Amino acid sequence: MAAKPTLKTVAATAGVSQMTASRALRGGGDVSARTRARVEAAAASLGYVPNRIAGALASRHVNLVGVVFPSLSSTVFPEVLSGITGALDDSPLQPVVGVTGYDLQREEAVVRDMLSWRPAGLILAGLEHSENTRNMLKNADIPVVEVMDVDGVPIDRCVGISHRRAGAMMAAEIIARGHRQIGFIGTKMPQDFRAGKRLAGFQKALERAGLALADFEHYTGPSTLAKGRELTARLLARSPEISCIYYSSDTMCAGGLMHCLAKNLSVPGDLALAGFNNLELLNGLPLRLATTDSHRFQIGKRAAQMVLGGRDDKGDKSGEKIVVLTPTTSPGQSL
Amino acid sequence: MAAKPTLKTVAATAGVSQMTASRALRGGGDVSARTRARVEAAAASLGYVPNRIAGALASRHVNLVGVVFPSLSSTVFPEVLSGITGALDDSPLQPVVGVTGYDLQREEAVVRDMLSWRPAGLILAGLEHSENTRNMLKNADIPVVEVMDVDGVPIDRCVGISHRRAGAMMAAEIIARGHRQIGFIGTKMPQDFRAGKRLAGFQKALERAGLALADFEHYTGPSTLAKGRELTARLLARSPEISCIYYSSDTMCAGGLMHCLAKNLSVPGDLALAGFNNLELLNGLPLRLATTDSHRFQIGKRAAQMVLGGRDDKGDKSGEKIVVLTPTTSPGQSL
DNA sequence: GTGAAAGCGCTAACAT
DNA sequence: ATGTTAGCGCTTTCAC
């Protein structure tokens, strides 16, 4: 097989200069219809695939947006991504995803790597980053959007909800329904800052009502039905007086419901349950679980719009730099 | 803020030539410890981020592996991705993900786009592609690995299971347990070739046993608990004689279980259920559902190894080009 | 161990 | 509407 054809080859085949071939293929500038057709035919016959590396180097424009997420294993971040993709779909930009595994050192490496490709913008989850990451991002000179969380000081732009507030809101719902013995099941906090903030907001609201958490369980790794079930069983075995459990994730909460189904506990009669995120999963359950919508799709969409609006070539540096969405709490049938 | 520092800036600051700075930063060749330290200090103080676009153009090496999946919304493809990431972790290569939405035209665009960045390899789901996609891939001159499915002719390399066989295997389990009135619930086939092949294998096995599908329901879009529940209800309402339903996804099957829980149907006494994939979700359910493990993590891992082994610089073109994994069927407690 | 020259494949800017 | 020149920021190659 011959060496990969370059623009030069295409131009020669079409009998025009490289520049004309370049223009013709990019559909831009003034190229006569006949010339364009000839160039396109040549490109097609040669199986020419443009080399964007060269193109990007020459034009100093890269139509890529870096997206850095802690994980893709729950449906949470893919939904944010789908908001991003949607907003980028009728733009020249394309998302490139990197995953950190909730590890700030790894995040630093991923961000460094993304920046080395000189993307048009960067979207990343959370406001907590290593010192080096923050510095790189500050000097990157591209729109940087931190998403999901607004409890903190963003580097550049930011879209999300207040997780402290989300926790406090659910606490209010729970307290209003008369629960006094309240348990919590959540991820080990240092890993997941947003879950930690929800718990903090939740506890603060309890305190203000003269209450405190009756008991809690922590876990590491991904949220699963099985873990939710198991930890619910364990928590209840140890603290049978608990009448309501707040989970840091809907998946865990659904696991709690599975425990109740298996043990014939009535919800919310014997045990009330509340989760977080408003995942699609909740729709098929035998009972509507209490949850708080985190507006993931919307967050992704707004973030992408911020990147689009914040690029050099746009004068639109005016747009909001911080967008605070309001978490929506629904009590369902489980409180 | 000053213009982004380049290698030239770093070299000047460190008082060495560009070449020496380049070598020092890449940790390669012969550079004295003192020189290296000076260069590193200069780079750090300037906040230098190397420009890989230039590096890639000059070296003609890109340490990226394109990964093209139909979707990231179920946990299926993220699990394959995690297998890929795991295998790539102690290599210089990094995955870059593209999503097609089960649309072959979009796949063509995504592949074209990826190839224009000259990745070191490409991993994509399925064996069905547009004519153009196949041609691009054939001429790409990099390892191309088609994953998930082995029922067909791969372009280059391939790792997966036979979905026809998976369907046939589950049919055998179901028939062996005496079911004769068997229903099917699955995605609209043209969209998802693998689901279609499972159904084909399933039906063929039924035929060989002198049976036929009693009834079926199709749906579009993602598999959800809610849809599983709803379609199960609809199917049973129309064909109450059905004693077993085969679903094209565990999520839908779990939705079927939710229907049974809500309607107080005993499983498998009143209705037997079988899904596909062996998703983590199954672990927390009140009952172990029958399923077939599709070995997603393993598939990702092997695919990444094939890319690593197939690169130009490796002589290892010897390795297997087609790896057929065996789907593992488990009847659980629902048949 | 270090440096100088050449060029990767394309596009911006300026001709014509 | 098309061509020419220069150069993007780095690495390869070869020289010392």
Q: Residue B18 — very low, low, confident or very high, per pLDDT cuts 50/70/90?
A: very high
Average model confidence (pLDDT) for chain B? 95
A284·B258 Cβ contact <8 A: yes
Instruction: Using the predicted structure, report yes or no on whether residue A2 has a pLDDT greater than 70.
Output: no
Least CA distance to A74: which residue of chain B? B75
A117·B52 Cβ contact <8 A: yes
Instruction: Using the predicted structure, report yes or no on whether residue A132 has a pLDDT greater than 60.
Output: yes
Tens of pLDDT, residue by residue over A222-241, are 999 999 999 999 999 999 99
Which SS3 state, helix, strand or coil, does residue A239 take? coil
Q: Residue B316 — very low, low, confident or very high, per pLDDT cuts 50/70/90?
A: low
Radius of gyration of chain B from its Cα atoms, rounded to whole angstroms: 25
pLDDT of residue A54: 97
DSSP letters spanning B158-192: EEEE-HHHHHHHHHHHHHHTT--SEEEEEE-GGG-
Mark the nucleotides of strand D covered by protein, meaning any atom under 7 Å from a CB: 1-5, 7-13
Strand D reaches within 7 A of the A63 CB: no
Tens of pLDDT, residue by residue over A42-85, are 999 999 999 999 999 999 999 999 999 999 988 999 999 999 99
Tens of pLDDT, residue by residue over B101-115, are 999 999 999 999 999
CB-based contact A102:A192 (threshold 8 Å): yes
Residue of A62, A82, A228 lying closest to B284 (CB–CB): A228
Instruction: Using the predicted structure, report yes or no on whether residue B315 has a pLDDT greater than 60.
Output: no
Q: Residue A87 — very low, low, confident or very high, per pLDDT cuts 50/70/90?
A: very high
Vertex A151: Cα angle to A272 and A98 (nearest 5):
95
Write out the two tokens for A233: 């069983």
> Which positions 95-154 on chain B have a beta carbon less than 7 angstroms from any atom of strand D?
none
Instruction: Using the predicted structure, report yes or no on whether residue B66 has a pLDDT greater than 80.
Output: yes
Q: Where are the beta strands (DSSP E) in B45-143?
A: 64-69, 94-99, 121-125
pLDDT of residue B317: 57
pLDDT of residue A314: 60
Which SS3 state, helix, strand or coil, does residue A155 take? coil
Determine the Cα–Cα distance for residues B132 and A93; give it in Å rounded to an integer: 23
Please give, rounded to a whole number of angstroms, the shortest distance from the CA of B224 to a CA of chain A. 7
> Which positions 79-108 on chain A have a beta carbon less than 7 angstroms from any atom of strand C?
none
**Residue B89 touches chain A, beta carbons under 8 Å:** no
B136·A228 Cβ contact <8 A: no
CB burial readout B12-35, b (16+ within 10 A) else e: ebbebeeebbbbbbeeeeebeeeb
pLDDT of residue B314: 59
Better-predicted residue by pLDDT, A316 or A43:
A43
Better-predicted residue by pLDDT, B320 or B38:
B38
Distance between the alpha carbon (CA) of B106 and the C1' atom of C10, Å? 26
**A89-103, B162-176, B249-263: the lowest-pLDDT one:** A89-103
Share of chain B above pLDDT 70, in %: 97
Taking CB atoms within 8 Å and a gap of at least 24, the contacts of B107-111 are B107/B68, B107/B70, B107/B133, B108/B132, B108/B133, B108/B136, B110/B68, B111/B66, B111/B68, B111/B136, B111/B137
**A130-134, A278-282, B22-26, B28-32: the lowest-pLDDT one:** B28-32
**Residue B266 touches chain A, beta carbons under 8 Å:** no
Which nucleotide has the least CA–C1' distance to A6? C9
CB-based contact A199:A167 (threshold 8 Å): yes
Element (H, E) at A293: strand A291-293
Residue of A81, A94, A225 lying closest to B72 (CB–CB): A81
Contacts of A283 (CB under 8 A, 6+ apart): B224, B225, B226
Q: Residue A317 — very low, low, confident or very high, per pLDDT cuts 50/70/90?
A: low
Q: What is the DSSP letter of A283?
A: G
Please give, rounded to a whole number of angstroms, the shortest distance from the CA of B302 to a CA of chain A. 20
Q: Residue B190 — very low, low, confident or very high, per pLDDT cuts 50/70/90?
A: confident
pLDDT of residue A318: 64
Write out the two tokens for A18: 């490289």
Q: Residue B91 — very low, low, confident or very high, per pLDDT cuts 50/70/90?
A: very high
pLDDT of residue B27: 85
Please give, rounded to a whole number of angstroms, the shortest distance from the CA of B111 to a CA of chain A. 11
Q: Residue B48 — very low, low, confident or very high, per pLDDT cuts 50/70/90?
A: very high
> Which positions 27-56 on chain B have a beta carbon less than 7 angstroms from any atom of strand C?
29-32, 34-35, 54
B115·A73 Cβ contact <8 A: no
Q: Which residues of B touch A273 (CB under 8 A)?
A: none
Single-letter code of the amino acid located at B260: C
As beta bridge partners, residue A323 has A159
CB-based contact A290:A335 (threshold 8 Å): yes
Element (H, E) at B267: none
Strand D reaches within 7 A of the B264 CB: no
Please give, rounded to a whole number of angstroms, the shortest distance from the CA of B205 to a CA of chain A. 31
Give the residue with minimal CA–C1' separation from C9.
Answer: A54
Tens of pLDDT, residue by residue over B197-229, are 999 999 999 999 999 999 999 999 999 999 999
Contacts of A228 (CB under 8 A, 6+ apart): A185, A247, A249, A251, A252, A253, A254, A255, A256, A258, A259, B284
pLDDT of residue A102: 93
pLDDT of residue A287: 95
Q: Give the predicted TM-score (pTM) of the model.
A: 0.93
Residue of B85, B224, B262 lying closest to A280 (CB–CB): B224
Please give, rounded to a whole number of angstroms, the shortest distance from the CA of A208 to a CA of chain B. 35
Instruction: Using the predicted structure, report yes or no on whether residue B241 has a pLDDT greater than 70.
Output: yes
Distance between the alpha carbon (CA) of B46 and the C1' atom of C5, Å? 27
Q: How many helices (H) and strands (E) does chain B have?
A: 12, 12
Give the residue with minimal CA–C1' separation from D5.
Answer: A19
